[in-house]
Amino acid sequence: MCKRTNSVGVCAVAFACAVVWSGLPVRADHRRDDRDERHDDRARNVFVIAMENHNWTQPAATLSPLPIFMNPQAPFVNSLVDGTSGISQHVAYATNYLNTGVGVHPSEPNYIWAEAGTNFGVLNDDTPYHVDCSPDSVQNTDQHLSAFLTKAHRTWRSYQEDTDVDLTTNVPLPRSSWTVPLFNLSGVFTNGGLNSYNYSTQYNYAAKHNPMVYFADTNGGCNTTTSNPQRTQYAPLQQLALDLQSGDIADYTWITPNQFNDMHTGLSNGYGGAVGSPNKGDRADIAQGDNFLARIVPLIMASDAYKHHGVIVLWWDESEGGDSSAYTLPFIVISKDAHENVNGRPFASATGYSHSSTLRTMQEIFAVDPSAGYPWLGAAAAADDLSAMFKPGSIR
């Protein structure tokens, strides 16, 4: 069994665990691209890991959900910011990261905002299309990040847990059988399948947590067959370990755990706690997500993509209980190019940030901003970028 730890010294173990528990076939492309020939010190590969429905800090009167900061159910996340993780020199975090706007809820509009700097008026958690393929919240515009990346000959990929797997065994399907995950999936693996992070038999994919599927040009239309030209842009999460090993990593990688591992939903049998008395409710939700991060972050950090000026972004979707500055969101950057520590602890930026700030920064990192002839996307035009969280020259 894989053992959880806060040290990057077990990256190799984490990698082995990911491969063994997911039942991955042995296959890799060993593809290289011209990024290997670059010698500048700017960010190259970005990995966004999307988490759910918890504040970083909140008013004392707000009792549910629990905040993440100083929460004993989130030892890994808190070790990143308090300097005890062993990778403090790679970490910077925000103390004033706020909801994108008043009333921008529930989850889905925030994921759309992460792509486009606006929610286009969407205020629901619907799938992109209805079951009859009539449009629901899908957007017909190329004014969003992944479309800009494609136009600029940059690459992107969305890894989504519980997609493109055999729903009885949790074994990933061959690449030739991948499809675009336009609709929700939930249930129980019935033939020995286990989740490789929480060891349960439950699966729960939500399209609302997959931003690229809400745009017709990057979802390929309402087509869930293998004829969809966009299908290989969406990969099962198990594929990430192989891609990190082979170097077949996109410039921009979006990673969404399932709704149990992203702190959104509790497992039926609970998680953590004393033997015979597992935690349930919000304590368990937080612990599930913290466990996921404690295992996937070292996996990414062990890769060449990370070591060559890569950036990992731990991103939470929305505030809970209020949209004022009293309700801050967790937001953590992990990179060799993160701002230097201050007094032995990771740098804490008090600048006012939001998803618009993250989007603006992605446009700058990948040169799909006004300097390259692309417009700022939505509210990114007026947002501060995240450059204060990095060493000078790392972003632009």
Q: Name, in order, each residue with C-beta under 8 angstroms of 243's C-beta and a sequence gap of 6 or more.
A: 28, 157, 235, 249
The answer to whether the CB of 181 falls within 8 A of the CB of 271 is no
Q: What is the pLDDT of residues 87-110, one digit of tens each?
A: 999 999 999 999 999 999 999 999
392: pLDDT strictly greater than 60: yes
Q: Helix, strand or coil for residue 294?
A: helix
Domain 43-389: give its CATH code.
3.40.720.10
37: pLDDT strictly greater than 60: no
Question: What single string gives the DSSP state of each residue in 340-382?
Answer: PPBTTB-EEE-S-B-HHHHHHHHHHHTT-SGGGTPPP-GGGGG
Give the tokens for residue 94. 């925000």
pLDDT of residue 40: 59
pLDDT of residue 10: 39
pLDDT band at 43 (very low <50, low <70, confident <90, very high): low
Give the tokens for residue 147. 């479309």
Three-state SS letters, 2-57: CCCCCCHHHHHHHHHHHHHHHCCCCCCCCCCCHHHHCCCCCCCCEEEEEECCCCCE
Domain spans, the chain: 43-389
Q: If you average pLDDT over residues 339-344, what whole number do you get?
A: 96
Return mean pLDDT, the chain: 91
The pTM is what? 0.90
8: pLDDT strictly greater than 80: no
Percent of the chain with pLDDT over 90: 87
Alpha-carbon gap, residue 282 to 355, rounded angstroms: 24
Task: Reply yes or no: is the peptide bond before residue 330 cis, omega within 30 of 0.
Answer: no
DSSP 318: -
> Which residues, in sequence order, are bridge partners of residue 205?
185
29: pLDDT strictly greater than 60: no
